Chains A and B, each alone.
Chain A
Amino acid sequence: MLLFLTGPLVGYSFIQAVSLYGEASRPALVTPQMAAGLNPFDGVIIPTYGSLYLALTLLFPFVAIRMISADKDSGALHLLLQTPVRPTALLASKVVALSFALFLAELPGFLALFYWRLSDGHVYAPETLCLLFGHFLYGLLVITISLFAATVSETASTAALLALACTLGSWVLDFAAGGNSWLAKISGLSLTAALKPFEQGLLPWNVIVGIVIAVAGLIALTLIWWHPGRPLGVKFSRSAAALLACFVLYPVSHFLTRSIDLTEDQRHSFSPTVSAALRQIHEPLRITLYLAPEDPRFMDFDHSILAKLRRVLPRTEIVNREASQAALFKTGEDPNYGLIVYEIGARRAESRSTSPEEVLPLLWNLAAIAPPGSDTEAAYPGYPLVVKSSGRAELLFYIFWPACSFAGWFLFSRR
């Protein structure tokens, strides 16, 4: 059923994305200067995989839950736990089987990529592989959450509710993240937040290690609660130990501040010469902002300066004095509002600009570093493409894929 549905779902997103990308590409084909803004990773691949994210979040938990619940309901669990195979190996085999199911569920995405390439679409392998890796990690999280939910629940329907409460609960956290409350901080733990850097073409070590710790913790909890012969007290005490281990290990991931920018246009990085010059700043850099998080200037500054600075100078201390204020109510009442203060050692500079063209010279001056020369690297060319609709994609995703899924199910059920 999952395979049957994902084809049309992914196909619809892909066809829509290709159509919109084509519309946006038309002017760029006439005016080459506009081409640089056309990135197929953002325009086609991410929207296509967005539907797979939906399928993973809403449908895949049922597949994973069935793996445990069916054994419980049919009596197979009791038999399996009495075999010489260790429960760890049994659970590992289930995780491997579900990872294969995950791969099958992702097949429509691969099909879309293949179709895009056949249509002369551009695919930059590193950022695409980064996205696929992110989906794999996200899938592992969904699998382990679902397995744990199935283990602690009496029935499959209760397990489904529990698993969906976790996955859909992440959406609530993401929604809350828009505000300035403490929920915004917790929202960093949401499943969607874990996938976001990979969708941006970033390979963040802290997120990878965080996910690995969460997956290991959930597997440990599943193993603890899986065996029906274990007394409740033992289950609780071992669970507490497993959770404690996770809470101790999780902060370690925050020390891994490095991330690899795998995007073709290196949008999350300063140019190599600017990065090299910034690395010459050995004293800690402190930036104090007076900008509310909803303010477009903050978003611009965060995207074009702060995010890149954090990658080059992980020790940079960033303090936002207006982090708890709403931008809507900050119209002129605070004279400092909009100010950005830079400090290196005892040296200090102020500016209200959020543009790298003005901020970087200020930093060179403050750090007493000679401004770097201009880069000789070619600018990102952009890849405009108009794919004429021939109906083949519709045929592939709406007819061929469901027919294959149905045939596969029919053949398996007759065995």
Chain B
Amino acid sequence: MLRVENLSKRYGDLRALEHVSFQTPQNSIAGVIGPNGAGKTTLLLGLAGLLPIDSGSIRWGDTILSANTRRHITFYVEDAIRPHALLSVESVLRFYASVFKRKKALFNGIIERLALRDSLRSRVSILSKGTAKRFLIAIGLLSTQPVLMLDEPFDGLDLKQTLQVIPLLREISAAGRTLVLSIHQLRDAERICDRFVLLNNGRLAGSGTLVELQTIAGGAQGSGLEEIFLALT
């Protein structure tokens, strides 16, 4: 279980996160939902230990994760980055496979499932938006930390690619990893996530499964995430 308790972060006068608390069980897929500026990226950077948080705690099971130990539990892949831009896709992926001691079969499996075979010799800098996104997801899948956090994993993917990636992420989750996905599109979030963390202006608007959120929002059974989000914010 990943437990986040009272996480707060300020940038000067701006409150980016204010007492955000939620929990998500192992093997689940949690979606962090919110409009631009809601604090999604700040939350994930803080969880990954890549941004100092002002207060609050993060627990994995019974263990409190310090900033130094968080990298052993969480791995976060940001949106719209082009890491190691001058290198080929293959050399970058092989590097991450080797540092995470991933076997060749798994490496090849990820390449096949994400349809990256034809792009292996391309430089990262020249990849199309969709290919770059699949490349970033591949880096995330090569990591071994129990919690994988992806920022906008479907941004840039067409419908067909999105429908290919969703089952892959479900398999990863079923295999034992906890996924935390920051998703802009509520429709995509509904498709894949088991649980939701709704953020608005740095504050938690609600968290839980869709049914739990429907109850919190006081809406009718069967109302969608969009209605729930609008009702809670």
Residues in chain A within 8 A of chain B (CB atoms): 70-71, 74-76, 78-79, 81-85, 228-232, 415
Judge whether A232 and B84 touch: CB under 8 Å: no
From residue A386, how far is it (CB to closest CB) to chain B in Å?
47
Judge whether A83 and B100 touch: CB under 8 Å: yes
**Interchain CB contact (< 8 A) of A75 among B74, B78, B99:** B78
Chain A residues within 8 Å of B76, by CB: 78, 82
Chain B residues within 8 Å of A79, by CB: 77, 83, 96, 139
Judge whether A229 and B85 touch: CB under 8 Å: no
Say yes or no: is B64 at the interface (Cβ < 8 Å to chain A): no
Judge whether A74 and B100 touch: CB under 8 Å: no
Chain B residues within 8 Å of A415, by CB: 88
Chain B: number of interface residues, binned into ranges: 20 to 34
Closest to A84 in B: B99
Q: Contact mask B55-91 → A, CB, 8 Å, 1/0?
A: 0000000000001001100111110011111001000
Say yes or no: is B52 at the interface (Cβ < 8 Å to chain A): yes
How far, in angstroms, from A229 to B67 measured CA to CA in the complex?
A: 7
Chain A residues within 8 Å of B67, by CB: 229-231
Say yes or no: is B201 at the interface (Cβ < 8 Å to chain A): no
Say yes or no: is B143 at the interface (Cβ < 8 Å to chain A): yes
A-B Cβ contacts below 8 A, count? 57
How far, in angstroms, from A231 to B77 measured CA to CA in the complex?
A: 21
How far, in angstroms, from A78 to B49 measured CA to CA in the complex?
A: 10
How far, in angstroms, from A102 to B120 measured CA to CA in the complex?
A: 31
How far, in angstroms, from A78 to B145 measured CA to CA in the complex?
A: 15
Among B78, B83, B88, the one with the most A-chain Cβ atoms within 10 Å of its Cβ is B83
Say yes or no: is B163 at the interface (Cβ < 8 Å to chain A): no
How far, in angstroms, from A231 to B50 measured CA to CA in the complex?
A: 10
Judge whether A75 and B50 touch: CB under 8 Å: no
Pairs of residues from A and B, 9 with the lowest C-beta to C-beta distance, nearest first: A75-B81, A76-B83, A231-B52, A229-B49, A83-B99, A229-B50, A82-B71, A75-B83, A74-B83
How far, in angstroms, from A76 to B96 measured CA to CA in the complex?
A: 11
Chain B residues within 8 Å of A230, by CB: 52, 67
How far, in angstroms, from A71 to B51 measured CA to CA in the complex?
A: 16
Chain A residues within 8 Å of B77, by CB: 79
**Interchain CB contact (< 8 A) of B52 among A76, A84, A229:** A229
Say yes or no: is B228 at the interface (Cβ < 8 Å to chain A): no
Closest to A80 in B: B83
**Residue contacts A-B, CB under 8 angstroms, 19 given:** A74-B84, A74-B85, A75-B78, A75-B81, A76-B81, A76-B84, A78-B45, A78-B78, A78-B81, A79-B96, A81-B71, A82-B48, A82-B75, A82-B143, A83-B99, A83-B100, A228-B50, A229-B45, A229-B52
Chain A residues within 8 Å of B139, by CB: 79
Q: Knowing A74-B83, A76-B83, A232-B52 touch, does A82 contact B145 (C-beta < 8 A)? A: yes
Interface residues of A, dominant DSSP: loop
Chain B residues within 8 Å of A85, by CB: 99
Chain A residues within 8 Å of B50, by CB: 78, 81-82, 228-229
How far, in angstroms, from A325 to B85 measured CA to CA in the complex?
A: 59
Q: A74-B81, A78-B76, A229-B67 are in contact. List 9 more A-B contacts (CB 8 A).
A: A74-B83, A74-B84, A75-B81, A82-B48, A83-B96, A84-B100, A85-B99, A229-B70, A230-B52
From residue B94, how far is it (CB to closest CB) to chain A in Å?
13
Q: Contact mask B112-150 → A, CB, 8 Å, 1/0?
A: 000000000000000000000000000100010100000
How far, in angstroms, from A71 to B77 measured CA to CA in the complex?
A: 14
Q: Knowing A78-B78, A82-B145 touch, does A229 contact B51 (C-beta < 8 A)? A: yes
Chain A residues within 8 Å of B82, by CB: 74-75
Judge whether B99 and A70 touch: CB under 8 Å: no
Chain A residues within 8 Å of B81, by CB: 74-76, 78
Chain A residues within 8 Å of B88, by CB: 415
Closest to A79 in B: B83
Closest to A90 in B: B99
Among A70, A84, A229, A231, the one with the most B-chain Cβ atoms within 10 Å of its Cβ is A229
Chain B residues within 8 Å of A231, by CB: 52, 67
From residue B99, how far is it (CB to closest CB) to chain A in Å?
5
Closest to B77 in A: A79
Closest to A235 in B: B52
Closest to B81 in A: A75
Chain A residues within 8 Å of B71, by CB: 81-82
From residue A70, how far is it (CB to closest CB) to chain B in Å?
7
Chain A residues within 8 Å of B45, by CB: 78, 229
Chain B residues within 8 Å of A84, by CB: 99-100
Closest to A414 in B: B123
